[in-house]
Amino acid sequence: MRSTLLLGTLALGLSACTVSVQSNLGVAGSTDSGLISALNPDRGEGSSYYVGEAVRFYLTTRTSGYVTLLSLDPNGNSNVLIRGASVGAGTTVFPRPQDGAVFNVAPPRGVQRVRAIFTRVRPSADLYLSGQYSSGSWNATIQQRLGGYAVADRDVRETFFYIR
C-alpha cells in the first residue's frame, strides 16, 4: 500500500497487495504479541477508492501505546501518515481530529499498502520511514529498525486497498 503525503491534508496514493490483515505472517516486525488485533480501511481491506476520495483507518489495539502509520504506494514511495500517536486500548480511527489531517487518495493508481507499527514505548524517529523502497527493502528496513524494541512490546499489522 503506497501513498503520498501532502502537508496540511494528507493525500494517499494507495495500491493493493495480498497481505492479509488477519495474519502478520511475512510482515516485517510482526510478532505473536497480538498487540494489534485489527487494521482496516473504512471500506474494508482490499476495497477500492477513487482519486480524491477520503479514506480512514480503523486500528484496534489490546493495550495502550504508540502507533506510527506508514504507507507504500505502487511506485515504491513510503510516507509517514501518523507519527508516534498515543492510543488507548480499543479502536482508534485515523486520522483523528487532533491530528489535523485528512487522508485523500491520490495517484499513482494501484495497490496501496498501509502498515501500523505499535510500540508500548514512545518510538524513536528512526521508525518514520519516508523515501523510495522495494517491497523487500521496506520490510528489511522496518525489521532492522524494530530491533531495539522488545518483541513483547511491539507489533506490526498491514492492510491494503486499491486506488482507481
**How many CB atoms sit inside 10 A of residue 150's CB?**
11
Residue 140 domain flag: yes
Residue 20 domain flag: yes
Residue 129 domain flag: yes
Predicted pLDDT of residue 73: 93
Residue 93 domain flag: yes
- pTM, full prediction: 0.80
Predicted pLDDT of residue 147: 86
CATH number for position 103 = 2.60.40.10
Are the beta carbons of 28 and 87 closer than 8 angstroms? no
Mean pLDDT of the chain: 82
Residue 1 domain flag: no
- pLDDT bracket for residue 48 (50, 70, 90): very high
Mapping DSSP to helix (H, G, I), strand (E, B) and coil, where does residue 155 land?
strand
- What is the side-by-side order of every strand in the sheet holding 36-41? 36-41, 57-61, 90-94
Give the DSSP letter string of 58-125. Answer: EEEESS-EEEEEEEE-TTSEEEEEEEEEEE-SEEEEES-GGGT--EEE-SSPEEEEEEEEEESSPPPG
Nearest-angstrom CA–CA distance, 45 and 162: 9
Residue 52 reports pLDDT greater than 70: yes
Residue 2 domain flag: no
Residues of the domain holding 57: 10-163
Residue 5 domain flag: no
Predicted pLDDT of residue 27: 52
In the chain, how many domains are there? 1
Residue 78 domain flag: yes
Residue range 67-108, pLDDT digits in tens = 999 999 999 999 999 999 999 999 999 999 988 889 999 999
